Structure 1
């Protein structure tokens, strides 16, 4: 695996652990948290929901984006999702999934198959990010509320980045350098050691989470973002080493497009029929 591929894999593994796991944590109530929890309860009470998830990474002039468009029937726990991934070279991949509440079927390259996509459980993809607070109360640096023109409001939390650092340290514990020492001193182990050190020295800034609540008191959006600063891996004399710094931004945005609409179950039923389910 070449340098670019190794780096891409490690970025995906390390940032993915932080990015996804940091989203779900409880906290003691505050006035702003109370408003968010009320709005989440409002969303949990709907019959069906349609939302768009956009994961993004940008840095060194590269922009990588993944979108997930989700249709979910909360009454019978069926759902479908369309994944579209665009890499730094502009190449796109497409995957569709359908869940009947018991199993997940994936559609890619013109074929449906069971448990062969992104989802590893029957949980509605990213629904938890809309129904559970994505921060800890003790990590809040500041909180503010902004009124929008359509009667909706946004609650903006600036966070300390501490939770990200803790998740980084937990991930590092899983790949302790002692594991490298048990192996032969190969070129691959040297590369891994460099990336391990890079990850140790990774820092986080500008962590924040924004919730949007419509005038009916239902949560209709969530946006989480942070900036990453870390040493840069370079090759000199055929050897990888750390030199200088690089920065990139990561974010996830979830927009509720509609809820309690008759067309949402219809879209799911159409996907079920395509996947070979009789409904």
Structure 2
């Protein structure tokens, strides 16, 4: 009998705790340059003077399909090394990315939730979220909290939360579990410096508070999936994803492949981006999906 190698330490910590704070994925200078590019995107879509924290709705989503600099971020070698270790494979897709930003003294927050509510992906261990800080993300700036071991409790019930300050539109509505989650020693704040990242599993309960400082907090949430990930229900249409590393055959996978951008928001890039978001919008909002 051939013995399988032991899981790497990062994978062990993810399996035990449900999250891990990684070493620096980017250098500080690279994070600052990426933030400047993101501000330029905001100015492009919103007008002169707009910055990352002003982005709203679909302006925040899948920008790695619009700009080569953003595609380089989500496929950064140091970040992918951690993701490959966590997912246990060389074959990884970027399914989604979104800008998470809070301006100075912003009341915007993310209510406690699990990421599974945003998708119908299976199995649980085939999905990881990376949260990449482009500015410092201390607790008082609205940094992330994770509930240790919460991924071992399965899918918790969630309710729609349409408060404008809630960035995600949902919250966990298991009141007993939630009360414990936010009060006991297993509620762990993870503070990141610009260029650092955290990883968490698809069912790890996490949240963030308002920004109590005069500095903005900007990050990019990136959802990675194994190439063999599937869908756990029938959906109205087939979505798309971009190959991050390794190999993938769309004929045997759940996604069509998205081409990486060749230039900044060119006609082809905008077409690919619009198509990807239209597919996900249809699946997300179509109540007839079964």
Normalized per residue, the structure richer in strand is 1
Normalized per residue, the structure richer in helix is 2
TM-score, normalised with respect to structure 1:
0.28
Larger Rg: 1
TM-score, normalised with respect to structure 2:
0.27
| Larger RCO, structure (CA 8 Å, separation 6 or more) | 2
